[in-house]
Every structure is written in structure tokens, then in C-alpha cells.
């Protein structure tokens, strides 16, 4: 990560919120996924900052941000990002969300439509029921006790010592492994594990994802929207991309052949040009409360009005 994207701190509601930011111009807000952080976007931030003002927060409970006992719902995360943007003097932005961050980005666009100029959903949660088995198992009551056993500080420290030996021998982790290790590191503390558990349970149960934006995707009709997915995603199936594309009139669908779930860093060379082209070739939405009301009321069937 370049020095221009060094971590910055701000206190919001008594909690330390960490973010990275650089560049000038129209704002682009990058929202990472579960157990991720602003480092999710390290491969795309430098190039984006040459054209735009880029802001990439560590969501509460993730990365270097505080991990309080509190609300980790999509709505709470959306509120937190809105508050950060207000503090930074950013009125409107293009929201880009990966995985859980896609659900947060959609929630931002729903709760604060006047702030959303465009929406880019990258292997996004909240667009269907299916999700990988591990996350469904984490939602089961009692799973936190197992995590306390296998994801604790002594084991993390021992693994770090072994890893340092391999790195000295030139046998470091590949990019995917390095990102997984960073994610694991955030779960080596009790507070990190608790935040992880609360976040998972806010959106997932044993049957799969329990929070869905599918019933209100019609509200994105006037917001330029791009959906990007890997056709070999093993975390959230690519079928969700096609379903969302059908429900958002005028949306742009990009399927990356041979790609998995972690597009922002493992497939940055293909993802970045798509994102820049999407921003450059679309006109920023200008949403108002009256326009939101018209879209909302216009979708209510006559039978409901009676």
C-alpha cells in the first residue's frame, strides 16, 4: 500500500474508525466484505485515485477500526459510512461494495438515495439465499465457543513465527493467502471474533442469507448499476448476479471467466478497467426525496392502495 493510502483515524460516536483516502475529483467509496478491510482494495486504489477521490473505510468490527459490542447490521454499517462521509465533507459518491460490502452499499443507496450517484456490486451479498456452508455454520448458536478454541492469540502467534521463517526463505504467501491471513489476524482477539459472529448472524442463518434486497431492487432503476461476478465463485453463486441483473432495469452485468469471489485483488487487472469504464460512461444519478417517493409509490399495486 502506498504512503498516500496510509491509515487515517477519526472518532465517531466515541469509536475509532479507520479509513484510507487519496485523490481528488468525484468521490468513490469502496466497501469491503466480511473479515476484510480497506486492504481489500489495495490493487485498485492507486489507479482510481488518479481520477477520483477514493475513500475506503474499515467497517466497525473489521480491520483496524474499533470492535465494540453493538449493532453490526447492514443498516448500522450504512449509517456509519454516511457519518464518515459527512465528517469528510463528501455529499455524494459512487458506492462500490464487495461481498458483505455489496449489501452495505445497497443499504446505503436505499437509506440515503440522495448520496448515491452510482452503484457497483462485486460478488455481492443480499441478492439470494445461497452462501458457503462455513458461514451458515458460524450462524449456529454455540459456534463462538469453537472459534475461541481455534482462532486464539497463542495459535496466531505460533503461526506467525512459522510464517516468518518461510518468508525469510522466500516462501511467502500468494496474494490470496496473504489476504486470508490478514482476515484471520482480525479474528485472533476475542473482540474481533465477537464482531465477526454478530456480523454473520445479522445477515445469515443456517439456511443461508436471510437479508435480501431483491424486493426493492426496482428502486435502483434510475441509479447506474453494475454487477460484477466471477463464474467460479464458491462463496456466493454467480446465479445471484443474473437474478439481480434481471430485476434492475438498465443494469450492466460483467461475468469474469475463471474468476472466484475475491475479484478486487485477485482479478484487479480485469476488474479495475470495468469499474473505471462504468464510472466514466454513466451519468451520476441525482436522487431527491420526491423522486424516491414516486419510485416507491409507483411500484405499489392498485390493490394495495385500496
Grouping H, G, I as helix, E, B as strand and the rest as coil, residue 247 is: helix
In a domain? residue 158: no
Within a domain: 115: yes
CA distance 194 to 172: 29
Q: Do the domain assignments include residue 255?
A: yes
User: Is 261 a residue of the active site?
Assistant: yes
Which residue from 295, 98, 62, 105 is spatially nearest to 195, judged by alpha carbons?
A: 62
Q: Residue written as cell 493510502?
A: 5
Which residue is listed with cell 456509519? 80
Cα–Cα dist 117/50, whole Å: 19
CATH number, domain of 270, equals: 3.40.50.1820
What's the confidence (pLDDT) of residue 18?
97
Is 195 inside any structural domain?
Answer: no
CA distance 163 to 13: 37
HEC-encoded secondary structure of 131-150: CCHHHHHHCCCCHHHHHHHH
* 29 backbone dihedrals φ, ψ, rounded to 5°: -105, 125
- Residue of 98, 240, 261, 267 marked active site: 261
Catalytic status, residue 9: no
In a domain, 288, yes or no: yes
3-state secondary structure 163-216: HHHHHHCCCCCCHHHHHHHHHHHHCCCHHHHHHHHHHHHHHEECCEECCCCHHH
- Among the listed residues 37, 233, 240, 251, the single catalytic one is 233
Residue 73 carries which DSSP code?
Answer: S
The residue from 21, 99, 139, 202 that is catalytic is: 99
Domain count, the chain: 1
The H helix count followed by the E strand count for the chain is 13, 10
Q: Does some domain include residue 7?
A: yes
Q: Which domain holds residue 218?
A: 3-130+209-305
Q: What is the pLDDT of residues 60-70, one digit of tens each?
A: 999 999 999 99
Q: Which residues of the chain have pLDDT under 50?
A: 153, 155-167, 169-174, 177-181, 184, 302-306
Whether residue 46 lies inside any domain: the answer is yes
**Do the domain assignments include residue 202?**
no
Residue 99 falls in the annotated catalytic set: yes
Amino acid at each position: 500500500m502506498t504512503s498516500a493510502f496510509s491509515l487515517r483515524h477519526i472518532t465517531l460516536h466515541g469509536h475509532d474508525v479507520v479509513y484510507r483516502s487519496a485523490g481528488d475529483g468525484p468521490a468513490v467509496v469502496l466497501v469491503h466484505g466480511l473479515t476484510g478491510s480497506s486492504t481489500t482494495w489495495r490493487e485498485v486504489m492507486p489507479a482510481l485515485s488518479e481520477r477520483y477521490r477514493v475513500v475506503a473505510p474499515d467497517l466497525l468490527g473489521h480491520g483496524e477500526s474499533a470492535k465494540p459490542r453493538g449493532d453490526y447490521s447492514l443498516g448500522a454499517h450504512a449509517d456509519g459510512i454516511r457519518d464518515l462521509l459527512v465528517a469528510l465533507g463528501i455529499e455524494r459518491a459512487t458506492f462500490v461494495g464487495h461481498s458483505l460490502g455489496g449489501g452495505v452499499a445497497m443499504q446505503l443507496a436505499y437509506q440515503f438515495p440522495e448520496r448515491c450517484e452510482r452503484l457497483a456490486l462485486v460478488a455481492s451479498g443480499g441478492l439470494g439465499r445461497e452462501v458457503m456452508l462455513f458461514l451458515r455454520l458460524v450462524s449456529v448458536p454455540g459456534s463462538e465457543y469453537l472459534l475461541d478454541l481455534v482462532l486464539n492469540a497463542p495459535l496466531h502467534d505460533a503461526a506467525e513465527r512459522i510464517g516468518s521463517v518461510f518468508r525469510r526463505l522466500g516462501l511467502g504467501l500468494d496474494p490470496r493467502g496473504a489476504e486470508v491471513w490478514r482476515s484471520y489476524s482480525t479474528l485472533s482477539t476475542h473482540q474481533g471474533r465477537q464482531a465477526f459472529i454478530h456480523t454473520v448472524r445479522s445477515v445469515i442463518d443456517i439456511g443461508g442469507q436471510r437479508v435480501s434486497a431483491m424486493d426493492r431492487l426496482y428502486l435502483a432503476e434510475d441509479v447506474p448499476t453494475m454487477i460484477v461476478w466471477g463464474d467460479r465463485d464458491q462463496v456466493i453463486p454467480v446465479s445471484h448476479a443474473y437474478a439481480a441483473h434481471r430485476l434492475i432495469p438498465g443494469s450492466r452485468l460483467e461475468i469474469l471467466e475463471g474468476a472466484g469471489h475475491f475479484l478486487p485483488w485477485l482479478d484487479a487487472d480485469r476488474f479495475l478497467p470495468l469499474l473505471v469504464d462504468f464510472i466514466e460512461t454513466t451519468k451520476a444519478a441525482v436522487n431527491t426525496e420526491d423522486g424516491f417517493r414516486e419510485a416507491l409509490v409507483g411500484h405499489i399495486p392498485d390493490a394495495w392502495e385500496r
